[in-house]
Amino acid sequence: MRGVGLRRLAVLVAAVVGVASLGRPAGADSVPDLLPQSAPARAAIVVSAEDGRVLGARAPTALAYPASLAKMMTLYLLFEAVESGRLGLSDRLTVSRAAAAQPPTKLGLKAGAKLPVKTAIQAIASLSANDVAVAVADRLAGSEAAFAELMTATARELGMARTRFTNATGLPDPEMVTTARDLALLARALVRDHPGLYRLVGGKGFSLGGRWRQGHNGFLGRLPGSDGIKSGFTCAAGYTLAASAVRDGRRLIGVVLGNPTRQDRDRGMARLLDGGFRRLDGGGPTLAALADDPAVRVASLSNDWIAERCFGTDRAPEIEVDSAAWAVQVGVELTPEKALKTARAAERALRKRLGRGHPFALVWPGRAPVRYRALITNLEEAEAVPTCLDLREREDHTACLVLNPATLAASLEAAERFERLQAAAGDQ
């Protein structure tokens, strides 16, 4: 679809076929939506990993942005390279300049650094490390552009009819699209084709250089039997998640896309998988039967309701803030734009030291007028404390505050509660 604006095309198609038909291919009408009507997910699907039966779905073939769920294909191709003997788990990948220049989330490796393939798998799966994903692309295909073509070709081989990859990370690109159905196919293939290596993607974190790196997938452990796979977020995509869970030896794969908050995403996935396990002994079409309806080429990709959370832009902040990490507060402002500007200025001043700090603006409810906190997030404790000490020594940053993981998590939850209340008040 190069040369054609996806949003404009979505409007044209909707006018022709009607909004009610979007994302409803042949066979989809026989599949129940296991999410409550109030659940905000734009698309969702839950399938049996054993036979690919679809147990529940919502808009399963509507186009959507994958965010970091694209890294499932990066992992799939890396697993293929390991199991074919092209790479060993102890082989080392070299970080190129292009890889080192990737935005967060990343390990912050410098160009020329090396890391084992096993560590690369863990870093991509649990930390969603963009620099490592590009290092994998460089090793397997010579460049990220060539690797993206390989990703798309492999997607077609797996039956992912509506997916197109343009990078190895899932970072924002309007040309990179997928569907809930296609991502379920990919997640199922990841587990089915590489069961031995799949066990590496279910950890809550990993050790690197003697330091523990906390993962970003907060859904792990939330539901009994959950054991992977990948979470993601961009403003255009919303909060996304592909998850696997096993009960009584039977595995389900779930995908939820387009959620406005992390809590909505995790709650929706829990309900989706619970409902899927209850229907596991019933019937249902296969993933293959949910063939793309030729009359419905493009569903709406507009997530304006999510983009508003990113302060009036559909540019993604590239990462989901890790509530299990540390952060520093470098200022308080009256607008989110000013708070983000303050955070970015502080992050630039400390970039050589931090490497992976992420500037972020967070609403601070409970005060009148409402204020916004300027944060540098996704830090280790050993980075956050000296960072604050350094900033306090500077005349322009005297009010630095360290936020430990518990404080940061509580602040994120309070901000999301406030935004939900504001949204509800606006709907009245």
By annotation, the residues acting in catalysis are 68, 71, 128
For the residues of 52-87, what is the DSSP string, one character each? -BEEEEESTTS-B--GGGGHHHHHHHHHHHHHTTSS
CA-CA distance, 272 to 241, in Å (whole number)?
12
Annotated ligand binding at 230? The verdict is yes
In the numeric block, the tokens 């896309």 are attached to 257
Between the CA of residue 368 and those of 71, 160, 421, what are the distances in Å? Answer: 42, 50, 16
Cβ(135)–Cβ(212) below 8 Å: no
Q: CA-based angle 381:382:387, to the nearest 5?
A: 95
Q: What is the DSSP letter of 127?
A: I
Between the CA of residue 340 and those of 256, 359, 372, 375, what are the distances in Å? Answer: 29, 7, 9, 8
Torsion of CA 343, 409, 417, 398, to 10 degrees: -30
CA-CA distance, 301 to 23, in Å (whole number)?
12
For the annotated binding site, the residues are 230
For the annotated binding site for substrate, the residues are 230
